């Protein structure tokens, strides 16, 4: 009973020391609960079976990610416990001096950890339950579920999972604390707070050389992942700039730790102003001994910014793409004249009868199945595309073929180009509500929206490369690709369609027919019935002889897109926020440890007459620099990291990048800034202690 009272009294007395510990535990628990409660939040949603399958897949991934997250949070708890142990080493030494046994001290620590754990779980779960209701609305909005069924949701399974995971972490911390106390000697405990790492001065000229080399290597890594992106073909090609970036980051911090103080010392007017000399020496001392830790924190912040920005960009862009790239209800395509490319289709698994019976349009093929697809459309159009082995990318690149092959060797240059009549494309453009074009008899143009291919094709267009098609020689009308597309999708996938005058086309080279239309109904349930009826045709015995048209519908695109964007968003947010909490918590705990070690130095400032206001200002600047240095370099890394990520994910588009960066900045300000303020206030209390 006495030990319980002493434990509670210690927690109350050290509540200021425990601020960051509490903040980290509560945030970790609430976030863990929120993301693991997603499954319960989606149970009541009125969604289609395909969307339900996507949600189940998302929850499987979230559960797997939670295991990794638990390890990260477990490490954080142990790291925080180490700080608290060091902070209270003198207190434990006094206990031993008074005759209290190590076993009882271990019991006090056990009870303290238990009480803190229970309190953190209760507060964290409470916040998590409240936050999960907001998440429910977000999930419902993302999946366009029926909000009339919304109700307060408590996920018992998620709560139990959270309690089990964190109980295991607390148990490990209890064991760790018990072992730490049992191994400590009295003299170590009494002097624990006074021990600090030795500061080694570095040769300034060596630091300058290392800094210049690190900046050059980092610049090369940036160049490789942006300007040279299209030449990165193998995994090793991507790993190389990553390794260069990690090493150069370490070297930059290593060299700065030896340069910052000397550079500022040379600016005497600034160095001797107020407590700047004290602040800079304190900071220089810290960074000199935490180069590796600062590097890890910088890289974690870099990953956080890239994760949050990229996942939010993908979500926003995909939602925008649905509106722009799926402008009508349905599109059906049918391969024509497959026998002209027999070997190609045979290799893809089509049988001889299917290849032979490939002379029907999409509409005619549906009629063969006794299904009048057009009866479901209020309006529709039919258009064709053409292809010939005489017009591949080898031909469209013309005299620049060798140059492009050298720089972009991974492209399939022998693939037949997609050719389309200008009148057919304009029918589609008018139907979609996008730009229409006009061509003279001797002109051609290319419409595309896949950025990497646009850049490559523009090389030839700017060189005014001619093409020969069905006995006609054509010149490019424009010096670059024009924005446009034919096939509906959730992404920018059009690598290029060659538009030519109608009189150029040879109908013998008809390659694919398209039937594009809008349903008579806008009711989702009715549309589902129509599309289910079309899917049922696949069970017909006629599929052995006749290929059904391939369908792409707005509803299917929307469901797939929403599912993918939800997965990317939630998992990116989950990992990004955890990494952000980890980075800020480690920085905060390290700074509190330093404040504890340097308490005597601040006492000395008071003795020589320095005001409390000046001391607090110096402490504020010191902590601000310590927090900002890894963040500034992480932001610089992120500028190029996001460019790299966007190039990989360019099919999704990057039009919504700015809102994503704004949201990421808000997360940084709230979480990282929150840790900064807690660290400053806790450090201020530590240096004010009079004993």
- For 356-416, give the DSSP string: HT----HHHHHHHTT--GGGGEEEEEEEEEE--TT-BHHHHHGGGHHHHHHH-TTS-TTSB
- Residue 442: its pLDDT value, please? 92
Alpha-carbon span 372 to 363, nearest angstrom: 8
For the chain, give the percent of residues with pLDDT over 90: 19
Whether 691 has a pLDDT exceeding 50, the answer reads no
Nearest to 422 by CA among 330, 503, 363: 503
The answer to whether the beta carbons of residues 413 and 405 sit under 8 Å apart is yes
- Burial label, 33 (beta-carbon count in 10 A; 0-12, 13-18, 19+): buried
Query: Out of 247-256, 314-323, 393-402, 614-623, which region has the weakest mean confidence (pLDDT)?
Result: 314-323
Asked if residue 111 is part of any domain, the answer here is: yes
Start-to-end CA span in the chain (Å): 28
Asked if residue 190 is part of any domain, the answer here is: yes
List, for residues 223-251, the tens digit of each pLDDT value: 888 776 655 556 667 788 888 999 999 99
Q: Based on the structure, what is the number of domains in the chain? A: 2
Q: Which domain holds residue 520?
A: 370-539
Last residue of a domain, one of 195, 230, 248: 195
Give residues with Cβ within 8 angstroms of 177, minimum separation 6: 81, 85, 106, 109, 110, 113
- Residue 225: its pLDDT value, please? 80
The pTM is what?
A: 0.70
- Residue 434: its pLDDT value, please? 92
- Residue 119: its pLDDT value, please? 82
List, for residues 607-629, the tens digit of each pLDDT value: 777 778 888 888 888 888 888 88
Residue scoring higher pLDDT (465 or 407): 465
Alpha-carbon span 253 to 301, nearest angstrom: 15
Query: Can you read off the two tokens belonging to residue 450?
Result: 């896949």
Asked if residue 474 is part of any domain, the answer here is: yes
Last residue of a domain, one of 488, 510, 539: 539
H/E element holding 532? helix 524-536
Nearest to 407 by CA among 225, 219, 228: 228
Provide the pairing of β-strand 472-476 with 467-469: antiparallel
DSSP, res 653: -
DSSP secondary structure letters along 57-93:
HHHHHHHHHHHHHHHHHHHHHHHHHHHHHHHTHHHHH
Question: Residues 399, 405, 409, CA angle at the centre, nearest 5°?
Answer: 170
Last residue of a domain, one of 512, 539, 566: 539
Alpha-carbon span 307 to 291, nearest angstrom: 24
Strand order in the sheet with 497-500: 467-469, 472-476, 443-447, 497-500, 418-421, 377-386, 510-519, 330-335, 550-553
The answer to whether the beta carbons of residues 431 and 507 sit under 8 Å apart is no
pLDDT band at 196 (very low <50, low <70, confident <90, very high): very low
Asked if residue 9 is part of any domain, the answer here is: yes
Length of the chain, in residues: 691
Taking each helix axis as running N to C, give the angle between helix 612-648 and helix 554-597, from 0 to 180 degrees, rounded to the nearest 10.
150
Asked if residue 279 is part of any domain, the answer here is: no
Asked if residue 603 is part of any domain, the answer here is: no
In DSSP terms, 377 is beta-bridged to 519
Nearest to 640 by CA among 223, 120, 242: 223
Whether 384 has a pLDDT exceeding 80, the answer reads yes
Query: Out of 82-96, 167-181, 359-373, which region has the weakest mean confidence (pLDDT)?
Result: 82-96
Query: Out of 97-101, 185-189, 256-260, 441-445, which region has the weakest mean confidence (pLDDT)?
Result: 185-189
- Residue 82: its pLDDT value, please? 67
pLDDT band at 296 (very low <50, low <70, confident <90, very high): confident
Asked if residue 434 is part of any domain, the answer here is: yes
75-94 average pLDDT score? 66
- Residue 156: its pLDDT value, please? 80
Asked if residue 280 is part of any domain, the answer here is: no
506-535 average pLDDT score? 90
Whether 354 has a pLDDT exceeding 90, the answer reads no
Whether 197 has a pLDDT exceeding 70, the answer reads no
pLDDT band at 345 (very low <50, low <70, confident <90, very high): confident
């Amino acid at each position: 009973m006495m030990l319980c009272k002493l434990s509670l009294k210690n927690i109350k007395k050290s509540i200021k020391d425990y601020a960051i510990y509490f903040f980290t535990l509560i945030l970790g628990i609430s976030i863990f609960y929120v993301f693991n409660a997603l499954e319960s939040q989606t149970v009541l949603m009125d969604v289609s079976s395909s969307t339900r399958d996507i949600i189940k897949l998302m929850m499987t991934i979230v559960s797997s990610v939670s295991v990794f997250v638990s390890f990260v949070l477990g490490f954080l708890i142990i790291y925080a416990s180490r700080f608290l142990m060091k902070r209270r080493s003198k207190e434990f030494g006094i206990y031993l001096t008074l005759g209290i046994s190590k076993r009882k001290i271990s019991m006090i620590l056990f009870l303290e950890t238990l009480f803190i754990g229970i309190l953190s779980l209760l507060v964290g779960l409470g916040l998590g339950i409240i936050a999960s209701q907001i998440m429910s609305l977000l999930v419902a909005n993302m999946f366009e579920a029926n909000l009339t069924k919304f109700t307060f949701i408590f996920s018992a399974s998620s709560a139990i999972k959270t309690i089990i995971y964190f109980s295991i972490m607390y148990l490990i911390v209890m064991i760790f604390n018990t072992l730490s106390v049992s191994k400590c000697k009295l003299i170590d405990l009494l002097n624990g707070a006074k021990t600090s790492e030795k500061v080694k001065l570095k040769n300034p000229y060596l630091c300058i050389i290392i800094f210049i080399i690190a900046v050059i290597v980092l610049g090369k890594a940036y160049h490789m992942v942006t300007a040279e992106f299209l030449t990165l073909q193998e995994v090793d090609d991507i790993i190389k700039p990553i390794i260069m970036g990690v090493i150069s980051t370490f070297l930059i911090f290593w060299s700065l730790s030896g340069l910052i103080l000397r550079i500022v010392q040379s600016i005497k007017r600034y160095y001797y102003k107020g407590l700047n000399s004290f602040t800079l020496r304190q900071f220089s001392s810290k960074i000199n001994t935490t180069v590796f830790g600062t590097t890890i924190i910088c890289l974690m912040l870099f990953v956080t910014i890239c994760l949050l920005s990229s996942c939010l960009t993908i979500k926003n862009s995909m939602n925008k793409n649905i509106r722009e790239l799926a402008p009508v209800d349905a599109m059906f395509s049918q391969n024509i004249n497959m026998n002209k490319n027999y070997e190609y289709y045979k290799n893809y698994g089509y049988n001889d009868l299917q290849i032979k019976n490939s002379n029907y349009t999409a509409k005619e093929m549906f009629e063969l199945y006794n299904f009048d697809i057009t009866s479901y459309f209020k309006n529709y159009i039919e258009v064709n595309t053409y292809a010939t082995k005489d017009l591949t990318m080898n031909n469209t690149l013309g005299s620049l073929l060798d140059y492009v092959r050298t720089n972009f060797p991974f492209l399939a240059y022998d693939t037949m180009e997609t050719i389309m009549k200008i009148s057919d494309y304009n029918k589609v453009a008018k139907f979609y509500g996008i730009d229409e074009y006009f061509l003279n008899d001797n002109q051609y143009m290319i419409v595309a929206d896949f950025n990497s291919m646009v850049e490559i094709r523009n090389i030839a267009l700017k060189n005014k490369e001619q093409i020969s098609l069905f006995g006609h020689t054509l010149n490019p009308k424009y010096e670059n690709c024009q924005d446009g597309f034919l096939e509906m999708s959730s992404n920018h996938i059009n690598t290029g369609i060659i538009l030519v005058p109608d009189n150029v086309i040879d109908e013998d080279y008809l390659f694919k027919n398209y039937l594009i239309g809008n349903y008579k109904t806008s009711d989702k349930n009715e549309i589902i019935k129509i599309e289910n009826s079309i899917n049922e045709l696949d069970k017909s015995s006629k599929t052995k002889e006749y290929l059904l048209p391939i369908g792409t519908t707005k509803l299917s695109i929307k469901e797939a897109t929403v599912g993918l964007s939800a997965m990317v968003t939630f998992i990116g947010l989950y990992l990004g926020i955890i990494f952000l909490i980890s980075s800020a918590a480690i920085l905060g705990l390290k700074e509190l440890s330093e404040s504890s070690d340097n308490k005597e130095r601040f006492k000395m400032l008071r003795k020589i007459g320095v005001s409390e206001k000046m001391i607090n200002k110096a402490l504020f600047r010191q902590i601000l620099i310590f927090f900002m240095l890894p963040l500034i370099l992480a932001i610089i890394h992120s500028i190029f990291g996001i460019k790299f990520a966007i190039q990989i994910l360019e099919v999704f588009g990057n039009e919504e990048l700015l809102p994503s960066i704004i949201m990421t900045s808000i997360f940084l300000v709230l979480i990282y800034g929150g840790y900064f303020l807690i660290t400053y206030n806790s450090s201020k209390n530590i240096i004010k202690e009079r004993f």
